[in-house]
């Protein structure tokens, strides 16, 4: 029986392509205009009928680097900014240096294993390796859809992503006393940033959520913050997991933010400009105009600048551990749990997609939970009363 053969032309990504299925092999070639595509398809059919497979060479396939760049650019508008940045980071740093020159149609499962081995040799954590594999799999899934690959070779690589003896990633929240020292130091050394960091430690908002916070999101009467958006990679987006939520404000935070709003309105009135919608801004800038010093209101907070040039020096100045910004979120959660709040409440405040996520991250912080469980094992069973079993068995008869 003759092997199944199919040669089709299709308009895809602003160009005409020829897709070929022959003897279990699948290839695609970008041609350009419609007439040329029809001519090439006809020649391929003739050669395949004669057993000539030269036109199916992987040399006609774009390189992974070329294809990945096109894939990244074409899908940017449909992705969240954080997801796009995540993909671009993994492609640039880890995937393209290893697979970039290889034709997409020639990528095999062995190449995917080699990539993960290279990442492991570079010292990447398991979570980072999962991110690399997730990015590669997303690109190759599109290649399957485009007819460049018969199947995704990066699919189900779980057994190559096991931790083995690797240490799990740990969070490093500040203690309640360290958090107090940090906030006190911020208030003295950098008062402009005090409301920002107080809000971070008292609400657990992510950095992008804090940067995107607007005055209309604050309800001072009910003491609630409505988390509706985030600012990531220079773009406004939805909160992570698209989880809009309401976060409680403490009395101290409410008072501090009220004071900030009043001061901001007075400054705007003095300048004769409308008040900024954003809650948190960079410090005011000083400009010289007509030999006079003029204060210009700072713009939107720069997250990278804040991590490197603001947070780290302030932590060192407070003589507390130099932690990541995200650990301030962990600090908020750990303080709630230590104060006896339920994991369900912590989940709602943090905006986790499920209670399981909260349990996985913070379950071990529940005070005395494990000790209480093992202490029950020490309980002495009640003494057995002689004749009880016999009496019960007689009455049952």
pLDDT of the residue at 23? 61
Alpha carbon 379 to its chain centroid, in Å, reads 46
Is the confidence at residue 59, as pLDDT, over 50?
no
> Which one is predicted more confidently, 340 or 289?
340
**CA separation (Å) from 32 to 10, 90, 96?**
11, 31, 26
Residues 25, 115, single domain; the answer is no
Residue 286 lies in a domain: yes
Number of structural domains (the chain) is: 3
From 294, 319, 344, give the residue that closes a domain: 319
Residue appearing with tokens 């996520």: 357
Please give the Cα distance from 124 to 231 (Å, whole number): 27
Residues 247, 298, single domain; the answer is yes
Q: Strand 245-248 to strand 235-237: parallel, antiparallel, or no bridges (unpaired)?
A: unpaired
* Cβ-count burial 50-67 (b if 16+ within 10 Å, e if not): eeeeebbeeebbbbbbeb
Which SS3 state, helix, strand or coil, does residue 293 take? Answer: strand
Residue appearing with tokens 């240490």: 167
Q: What is the CATH number of the domain that holds 70?
A: 1.10.150.130
Is the confidence at residue 243, as pLDDT, over 90?
no
Please give the Cα distance from 336 to 324 (Å, whole number): 19
| Phi and psi based region of residue 158 (left: phi greater than 0; alpha: psi -120 to 50; beta: remaining) | alpha
DSSP 107-156: --HHHHHHHHHHHHHTT--HHHHHHHHHHHHHHHHHHHHTTS-SS-TTSS
pLDDT of the residue at 256? 97
> Which one is predicted more confidently, 225 or 123?
225
Residues 188, 124, single domain; the answer is no
Please give the Cα distance from 7 to 14 (Å, whole number): 20
Residues 299, 182, single domain; the answer is yes
DSSP H helices in 276-387: 303-305, 312-317, 326-338, 343-350, 355-362, 369-375
Q: What is the CATH number of the domain that holds 242?
A: 1.10.443.10
Residue appearing with tokens 């003095």: 270
Q: State the distance between the two ends of the chain, measured CA to CA, in whole angstroms.
A: 78
Longest dimension (CA), the chain: 108
State both tokens at 172: 């490093």
At 323, is the pLDDT very low, low, confident or very high (cuts 50, 70, 90)?
Answer: very high
Residue 354 lies in a domain: no
Alpha carbon 334 to its chain centroid, in Å, reads 21
Residues 155, 72, single domain; the answer is yes
What percent of the chain has a predicted confidence (pLDDT) above 70? 86
Torsion angle of C-alpha atoms 99, 105, 109, 111, degrees rounded to 10: -20
User: Smallest Cα–Cα separation from 217: which of 230, 233, 198, 235?
Assistant: 230
Residue 269 lies in a domain: yes
Residues 56, 68, single domain; the answer is no
pLDDT digits (tens, 9 = 90+) for 345-382: 999 999 998 888 888 888 878 766 555 556 666 766 77
Which SS3 state, helix, strand or coil, does residue 39 take? Answer: helix
Residues 135, 190, single domain; the answer is no
Residues 202, 304, single domain; the answer is yes
User: Smallest Cα–Cα separation from 230: which of 218, 220, 243?
Assistant: 243
pLDDT digits (tens, 9 = 90+) for 31-50: 777 887 888 788 788 777 77
From 133, 160, 187, give the residue that closes a domain: 160
Residues 233, 108, single domain; the answer is no
Residue 97 lies in a domain: yes
**Spatial contact of 104 and 67, defined as CB atoms under 8 Å apart:** yes
State both tokens at 322: 């130099």
Q: Which domain, by its residues, includes 31?
A: 5-60
Residues 37, 155, single domain; the answer is no
**Spatial contact of 128 and 95, defined as CB atoms under 8 Å apart:** no
Q: Which of 46-55, 69-78, 374-383 has the highest mean pLDDT?
A: 69-78
- Whole-number average pLDDT of the chain: 85
Residues 239, 311, single domain; the answer is yes
**Spatial contact of 264 and 273, defined as CB atoms under 8 Å apart:** no
From 160, 188, 222, give the residue that closes a domain: 160
Average pLDDT over residues 220-232: 95
Residues 193, 143, single domain; the answer is no
Please give the Cα distance from 188 to 181 (Å, whole number): 11
Residue 281 lies in a domain: yes
Residue 372 lies in a domain: no
CA atoms within 13 A of residue 314's CA, in its CB half-sphere: 27
Backbone angles phi, psi at 15, to 5 degrees: -155, 160
Q: Of 135-149, 166-180, 323-337, which range is least confident?
A: 166-180
Residue 365 lies in a domain: no
Residue 93 lies in a domain: yes
CA atoms within 13 A of residue 107's CA, in its CB half-sphere: 34
pLDDT of the residue at 130? 92
DSSP 375-388: HGGGPPPPPPPTTH
Burial class (CB in 10 A: 0-12, 13-18, 19+), 123: exposed
């Amino acid at each position: 029986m003759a092997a199944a053969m199919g040669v089709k032309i299709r308009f895809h990504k602003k160009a005409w392509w020829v897709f070929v299925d022959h003897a279990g092999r699948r290839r695609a070639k970008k041609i350009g205009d419609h007439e040329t595509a029809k001519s090439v398809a006809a020649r391929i059919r003739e050669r395949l009928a004669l057993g000539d497979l030269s036109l199916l060479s992987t040399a006609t396939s774009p390189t992974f680097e070329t294809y990945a760049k096109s894939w990244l650019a074409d899908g940017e508008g449909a992705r969240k900014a954080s997801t796009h940045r995540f993909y671009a980071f993994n492609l640039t740093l880890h995937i393209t240096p290893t697979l970039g020159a290889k034709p997409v149609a020639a990528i095999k499962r062995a190449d995917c294993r080699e990539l993960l081995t290279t990442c492991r040799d570079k010292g990447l954590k398991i979570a980072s390796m999962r991110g690399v594999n997730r990015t590669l799999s997303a690109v190759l899934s599109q290649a399957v859809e485009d007819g460049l690959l018969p199947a995704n070779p990066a699919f189900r690589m779980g057994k190559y992503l096991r931790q083995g003896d690797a240490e799990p990633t740990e969070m490093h929240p500040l203690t309640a006393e360290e958090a107090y020292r940090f906030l006190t130091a911020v208030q003295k050394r950098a008062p402009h940033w005090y409301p920002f960091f107080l809000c971070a430690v008292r609400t657990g908002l992510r950095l992008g959520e804090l940067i995107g916070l607007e005055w209309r999101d604050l309800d001072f009467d009910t003491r609630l913050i409505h988390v509706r958006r985030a600012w990531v990679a220079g773009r406004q987006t939805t909160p992570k997991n698209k989880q809009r939520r309401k976060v409680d404000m403490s009395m101290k935070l409410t008072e501090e933010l009220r004071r900030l709003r009043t001061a901001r309105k007075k400054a705007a009135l003095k300048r004769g400009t409308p008040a900024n919608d954003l809650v948190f801004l960079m410090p005011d800038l000083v400009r010289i105009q007509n030999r006079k010093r003029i204060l210009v209101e700072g713009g939107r907070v720069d997250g990278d600048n804040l991590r490197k040039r603001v947070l780290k020096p302030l932590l060192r100045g407070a003589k507390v551990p130099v932690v990541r910004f995200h650990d301030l979120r962990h600090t908020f959660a750990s303080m709630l749990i230590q104060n006896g709040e339920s994991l369900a409440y912590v989940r709602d405040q943090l905006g986790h997609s499920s209670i399981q996520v909260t349990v996985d991250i913070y379950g071990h912080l529940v005070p005395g939970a494990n000790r209480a469980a093992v202490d029950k094992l020490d309980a002495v069973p009640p003494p057995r009363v002689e004749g009880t079993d016999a009496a019960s068995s007689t009455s049952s008869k």
